[in-house]
Amino acid sequence: MTVRSTPPATALLATIRSVLFDMDGVLYRGAEPLPGVNELLAFLRQQGIAYACITNNATRTPAQIAAALQTMGIGIGAEQILTSALATNFTLRAAAPRGTPVYAIGMAGLTEPLFGDGYFIPEETTPRYVVVGLDLELTYTKLRTAALAIRRGATFIGTNPDRTLPMPEGLAPGAGSILAALEAATDRKPMIIGKPERAMFEAALALLRAEAATTLMVGDRYETDILGGAGAGLKTALVLTGVSTRDEALAAPLPPDLIVEDLPTLLRLWQAVSATDDHGAERA
């Protein structure tokens, strides 16, 4: 077991009352669950530690993502999944009244949470906001409508900045590629909601009714999960089952609070904290 932590792992984990998980590379890889995921989730439930998953994916609804997790044997409900589309909805509702007109480029994972309850009204000509996510049926007409609205003064919002999307054939264009096209056409930069931006983490904390200082972000990608979590005031743990390596994380200006090989390692550390508490030590 190899661990790098500042402060010591036991002192850090003793303060945690809620957890945010990235998904691909943390809970699963491809279509296969990673070792220890269900055991760690069961431990968190036993300890009364709330948790949720956050993802930059805005193409699928939480229900669709939960169903996919179920096929892998991972029991996480839709109410515990925050997509960048939901975070966008949360952020805009804090700034705009009911009935605000919005033009959206995206799939059901974006349009359903945005327009499903009637709070925001779809509008092509004079929207207050143009919200853009990944759209696998993107057309020039959609780009033109969005660009014209942005040039007329609509606020330009991007659900996430991911320029590429991993597919079996290789890296395909992601939502960030659509944002880049609109930025070139309008000379406007979008406001980004998804990781690593603070808005995503604030929406997740609101979902869990949690405090940043006692929340742990567990991720596999330094530049989104770890840097974003730290920027929002969360504690951070990098698992080495996905994208970023130990050397990359240690060389970064703001290293993770904790680096672990995998979820079983994280679980063993947390169980040691629990065992200490069970013997009467005061939780930090």
**How many whole angstroms separate alpha carbon 120 and alpha carbon 212?**
29
Distances (CA, A) of 164 to 24, 136, 161, 175: 15, 13, 9, 7
Q: Which residue type, as a one-letter code, is found at position 62?
A: P
| Contact criterion met (CB below 8 Å) for 57 and 83 | yes
Residue 220 a catalytic site member: no
Q: What is the largest CA-CA distance in the chain?
A: 65
Q: How far is the C-alpha of 160 from the C-alpha of 247, rounded, in Å?
A: 26
Q: Which residue has the tokens 């044997």?
A: 73
For this structure, is 135 an active site residue? Answer: no
Residue type present at position 147:
A
Catalytic residue among 22, 135, 220, 257: 22
Q: Measured between alpha carbons, how far is 20 from 40 in angstroms, rounded to an integer? A: 13
Q: How far apart are the first and last CA of the chain?
A: 24
Active-site residue list: 22, 24
